[in-house]
Structure 1
Amino acid sequence: MPVDAAPARPSWDYPRSPVASRHLLDTAAAHDIDPARCLTGTGLTTQALADPDTEIQADQELTIARNLLVAAGNQPGLGVETGLRYNLANVGILGYALLASPTVRDAVTVGLRYISLSSAFVTISLHESGTDAVLLLDDTEIPPDVRRFLLERDLSAMAQMLPLLYGRDLFSVPARIELRMPEPAALLPHLAATITFDAARNAVTVPRKLLDQPMPAADPHTAAACARQCQELLDRRRERSGIAGQVRSRLLRNPADIPSMTTVAAELAITERTLHRRLATEGTTYRALVDELRETLAVELLHNGLTVEEAARQLGYSETASFTHAYIRWRGIPPSKQPYRGRGSGPLALRSL
């Protein structure tokens, strides 16, 4: 069945660690705001956020951010202040994977591949043209009332951690930043770059040759081991049981002909409304399960040497452009840039399904 035009869930809608929420509460405390006020409507407690094994949903973090902004009277600069609280320990095993990458390009690729292990709400993608390498920071999926705050936070967090990951000398190169927002009261003073406000896009541009520079702590074996751990962590976060598992099994029968939610509900002898409710109870949606299936299969099909057009067709896309757009949303790079392993090099790895 060709892909319909129904909107997918936002790219930021994934389970996440409590670190970012703790930083939000730290900012609240710095402004004498009661943490309990920020947690209103989330079902979370400060004790839960202190537990590193806690996983929270993106909408819970959004609620904390909204509560903070309301309590602080939408005070300018809160996003920058919160972003500056980030440190290398906050990115966990992903940070080690980045540190050990052979080149900056490899590190960027790994970072985009496992972006859902971070707290980012912006959708990040890499584009290379001429002598420029451009990181686009798409904030259009972020709700308008928290968009500026989260863009400032994510950009500030990146600026805070990149020198720690890649070395200050490596990132002393000229950079240009374009931001769609008006000039903030706090002018992001820690960003050593030329900044243009009220731009048509959010983007960070650096010399393309920077991507080929070796990483200061490059270690291919460590990088590979850390990448495997990143994938395992991502898989665990995606694991679902119950009704979601049944739906996933049904979708796997023929990924090129994805049935409608109504059809799957009928096959499970329940109503579509009941299926929607039970999936929501398990923290997912029908569209999210379809997206997860297509993303995992797309990566493996391309790894095994299929062309972009072949992969698109096998996954039920009537137009290659639609598949390319979806792939960039999933992985941050076009499918044509997906590393190639060669035909017949191994079975599809469906562990995350």
Structure 2
Amino acid sequence: MTHSVKLPAWDFRRGMATARVMTQVGCERGAPLEVLLHQTGIAPEHLEDPHAEIEAAQEIQLIRNLLHALGNPADLGVEVGKRYKLTTYGLWGFALLSSPTLGDAMNLGLRMMNQTFSLTRHSMQQVGDQVHVVYFDEHLPPDVRRFVMDRDRAMGPTVQREVLGRPVAYSAVDMKQPEPDAAQVARLTELFGVCPTFGATQHRSIFPAALLSERLPQADPHTARLCEDMCRELVEARNSRRTGVAAKVRDRLLRTPGHIPDMEQIAAEMHMTSRTLRRHLTAEGATFRGLLEEVRSTLAVELMARARLTHGEIAERLGYADVTTFIEAFRRWKGMPPSEYRRQQGLRPSHGRLNRPMLRA
């Protein structure tokens, strides 16, 4: 049986801890702080502010500065990734640590990816007796892809080791890049516990599915649920704090829930081409697709709670071609189908309304 969970989001706002980790490594290697923060919009005092957040685009600029200042050393991504501990992630890390099993922790972690510092996209899929975690980087600027991939992949075994209490026994690790020098191969082999395969068609880590059912040493389901609820509130709050052009697009999408406009229509209303709109959103670390997902997720919950519409009616109002596509999207947003979400939230399922005209999305 094959089961997959995909999380397309990557351009979410993130905590300042990720900038703090990277500037610490850069300064340790001799880079001046002002050089690392150049054109990022991050002031030195922001690094110590526990409530400060940055856009993905700001983090990408910081990465560019770091690479340029240090001469793009081959080991930099892995070295930085190993610095991200469970405590770096705050509530997200505590929620993982408190989960009943490794599988619960990984599923929660993927659902709440907006509480991490990942810039890559991930999918987790069970194939037979193995779990495949695939990493995607095609959406990232080419000049930072290698660093980001190395960093985000190094985060994985580091966090998993803290959660499980011991290293995860990987069956295989695939990397798209050519084989590096012997020293770098040795570092990667030590990190993953297995020598990677280089020149692969995709970035992928494989481990036995039996590990998913292993009980975690600090499991506390009640604490895990509390942390997950708090993480979800933070995710929703971050999604609502859009600024600039992204905020205007999000507000426009929310304005007419019965008829959600496409990118061309919104661009025309803002007196620009869709290409210009896309460029503005990219500069702010956002995408039209990501904003549309945020809005649809928000509206779906509101329509369930207040309008008591059927899933088919909600799907139509949100612009989905059929109810199956909506259900798949809802599972991606909330980690469960809408029927289960209704049950957990105590929402009475609706049986629809007769002789009632439908709004076309």
TM-score (norm 2): 0.77
SS in 1 for 2:255: helix
Aligned to 1:128: 126
CA distance in 1, matches of 2:67, 2:41: 19
Aligned to 2:173: 177
Q: Which consecutive unaligned segments of at least 5 residues does structure 2 have? A: 1-7, 350-361
SS in 2 for 1:340: helix
CA distance in 2, matches of 1:94, 1:290: 25
Verify: 1:96 aligned to 2:94, yes or no: yes
Aligned to 1:7: none
Aligned to 1:249: 254
SS in 1 for 2:88: helix
SS in 1 for 2:53: coil
TM-score (norm 1): 0.78
CA distance in 2, matches of 1:306, 1:206: 40
Aligned to 2:9: 11
Verify: 1:64 aligned to 2:62, yes or no: yes
1:296-323, Cα deviation, whole Å (9 max, x unpaired)? 456899999988x987655323378976
CA distance in 2, matches of 1:318, 1:220: 38
Q: Contact conserved, 2:160 with 2:168, CA < 8 A, in 1?
A: no
Select which of 72, 75, 78 maps to 1:74: 72
What is the aligned residue count?
Answer: 326
Verify: 1:290 aligned to 2:292, yes or no: yes
CA distance in 1, matches of 2:35, 2:290: 31
**More deviation in 293-302 or 142-151?**
293-302
Q: Contact conserved, 1:125 with 1:332, CA < 8 A, in 2?
A: no
Q: Contact conserved, 1:112 with 1:332, CA < 8 A, in 2?
A: no
CA distance in 2, matches of 1:320, 1:245: 23
Q: Post-superposition shift, 1:230? A: 0.2
Distance 1:91 1:240, change over 3 A: closer
Aligned to 2:354: none
SS in 2 for 1:76: coil
1:334-345 pair list within 5 angstroms:
340-341=340-341, 345=346
CA distance in 2, matches of 1:166, 1:249: 42
Aligned to 2:146: 148
Q: Contact conserved, 1:124 with 1:332, CA < 8 A, in 2?
A: no
Q: Contact conserved, 1:104 with 1:214, CA < 8 A, in 2?
A: yes
Distance 1:123 1:261, change over 3 A: closer
Aligned to 1:45: 43
CA distance in 2, matches of 1:38, 1:340: 46
Q: Post-superposition shift, 1:175? A: 2.7
Q: Contact conserved, 1:79 with 1:151, CA < 8 A, in 2?
A: yes
SS in 2 for 1:33: coil
Distance 1:246 1:17, change over 3 A: closer
Q: Post-superposition shift, 1:342? A: 5.6
Q: Contact conserved, 1:11 with 1:141, CA < 8 A, in 2?
A: no
Q: Which consecutive unaligned segments of at least 5 residues does structure 1 have? A: 1-9, 349-353
Aligned to 2:318: 315
Q: Contact conserved, 2:170 with 2:205, CA < 8 A, in 1?
A: no
SS in 1 for 2:160: helix
SS in 1 for 2:191: coil
Q: Contact conserved, 2:120 with 2:137, CA < 8 A, in 1?
A: yes
Select which of 159, 162, 186 maps to 2:160: 162
Q: Contact conserved, 1:79 with 1:149, CA < 8 A, in 2?
A: yes
- More helix by proportion, 1 or 2? 2
Distance 1:306 1:214, change over 3 A: farther
Q: Contact conserved, 1:305 with 1:342, CA < 8 A, in 2?
A: no
Q: Post-superposition shift, 1:90? A: 0.4
Q: Contact conserved, 2:179 with 2:199, CA < 8 A, in 1?
A: yes
Distance 1:294 1:77, change over 3 A: same
Q: Post-superposition shift, 1:209? A: 1.6
Q: Post-superposition shift, 1:219? A: 1.5
Q: Contact conserved, 2:57 with 2:284, CA < 8 A, in 1?
A: no
